[in-house]
Structure 1
Amino acid sequence: MTLRVYYEDTDLAGIVYYANYLKFIERGRTEYVREIGLDQTKLKADQGIVFAVRRVEADYLAPAKFDDVLDVVTTLERASGARLVMRQVVERGGAVLFEALVTLVALSETGAPARLPAEIRQALS
Structure 2
Amino acid sequence: MHRFPIRVYYEDTDMAGIVYYANYLRYIERARSDWVRDIGIDQNAMREDGLVFAVRRVEADYLSSARFDEELQVETSVQQVTGARLVMEQVVKRGEQRLFEALVTIVCVSDTGQPARLPANIRRLVH
Residue pairs, 1:1-125, within 5 angstroms: 1-45=4-48, 47-125=49-127
Q: Which has the higher strand share?
A: 2
Task: Count the aligned residue pairs.
Answer: 124
% identity of equivalent residues = 62
Give the conservation status (yes or no) of the 8 Å contact 2:54–2:108.
yes
Does structure 1 conserve the Cα–Cα contact (< 8 Å) formed by 2:110 and 2:116?
yes
Amino acid at match of 2:96: G
In 2, Cα distance between the equivalents of 1:117 and 1:56? 22
Q: Which runs of 5+ in 2 are unaligned?
A: none
Deviation at 1:120, TM superposition (A): 0.6
Q: Any stretches of 5+ residues in structure 1 without a counterpart?
A: none
Query: Deviation at 1:94?
Result: 1.3
- TM-score, with normalisation over the residues of structure 2? 0.95
Report the 3-state secondary structure (helix = DSSP H, G, I; strand = E; otherwise coil) of the residue aligned with 2:15. coil
Contact kept? 2:87, 2:104, Cα under 8 Å: yes
How far 1:77 moved relative to its partner? 0.6
RMSD: 0.7
Residue 13 of structure 1 and its aligned partner are, at CA, apart by 1.4
Flag as ranges the 4+ runs of structure 1 deviating above 4 A: none
